[in-house]
A and B are shown apart, each in its own frame.
Chain A
Amino acid sequence: MATTPEGTNGSMTKRDLIDEVVKIYPRFSGRDAEVMVNAVFDSMTEALARGERIEIRGFGSFVVKHRQAREGRNPKTGALVPVAAKRVPFFKVGKELKLRVDGKQPTTPQSSSSEAPGAGG
């Protein structure tokens, strides 16, 4: 399956995102857009640092999970190494975005014949 349908296979950076915002809202300066985009991700980072979850409708949710301390192994030497307890961020894609990414827009349901069961998650 080496087919990339409509995909441009490019990538967008935070810089590109800021430029897009300016394109949509010409009344904002690049600096304003930068401050706003940064504020979005900074506030999300801070929420996660406080151990809060984040829920963005139509996008997804972020949670912080606790990982217990454990004994790990150095794969090279086999030696036991202590791995400290840590908190790990997780993202779960929201329904709308999940469908859009898979080319099945919720607004225009293309009721395809293969209704796949949601196995795996």
Chain B
Amino acid sequence: MNDGAGAPEKGATMTKADIVERIYEKVGFSKKEASEIVESIFEIIKTRLEHGDKVKISGFGNFVVNQKRPRKGRNPQTGEEIIITGRKVLTFKASQVLKKTINPS
């Protein structure tokens, strides 16, 4: 996946388990509960996106489903012309707050 200039920064990776840990520290529930809730939060979001809804998380960003039209493409290997079917794709637009936070000046 080449998104143009700028390689991802190397370093640690945060996973769902780290988020669970954070919730666990923050509120007094069991780890099992915290894990369930984090799972639910993402599942709620996924279900809404699946229905074509926008999900707007203020301070973080917007997840939007876009309808792509079918278009002509070419098999780069054979040069053969093919139809790329229409499809729905998910895009994320980071909020200004998030952009500012990761760019402290």
Interface of A with B (CB < 8 Å)?
1, 4-14, 17, 20-21, 24-25, 28, 32, 35-37, 39-41, 43-45, 47-60, 62-68, 86-93, 96-98, 100-103, 114, 116-117, 119-121
Contacts and interface: CB of A to CB of B under 8 A. Distances in A.
Contact of B90 (A45, A56, A89, A93): A93
A66 B8 CA distance: 7
A32 B27 contact: yes
A101 B49 contact: yes
B59 to A, nearest CB: 7
B98 A48 contact: yes
Interface of B: 1, 3, 5-9, 11-16, 18-19, 22-23, 26-27, 34, 37-38, 40-42, 44-46, 48-61, 63, 65, 67, 69, 73, 75, 82, 84-92, 94, 98-99, 101-104
Nearest to B1: A121
A21 B13 contact: no
Contacts of A56: 15-16, 42
B84 A120 contact: yes
Nearest to B37: A36
A98 B90 contact: yes
Contacts, number: 200
B32 to A, nearest CB: 13
Contacts of B45: 12, 17, 59
14 contacts: A1-B86, A10-B53, A12-B56, A21-B37, A39-B19, A40-B23, A40-B38, A52-B14, A63-B9, A65-B3, A102-B87, A102-B88, A116-B85, A117-B82
Task: State the main secondary structure of chain A at its contact with B.
Answer: mixed
Contacts of B98: 45, 48, 89
B56 A40 contact: no
A41 to B, nearest CB: 5
Contact of A14 (B26, B49, B58): B58
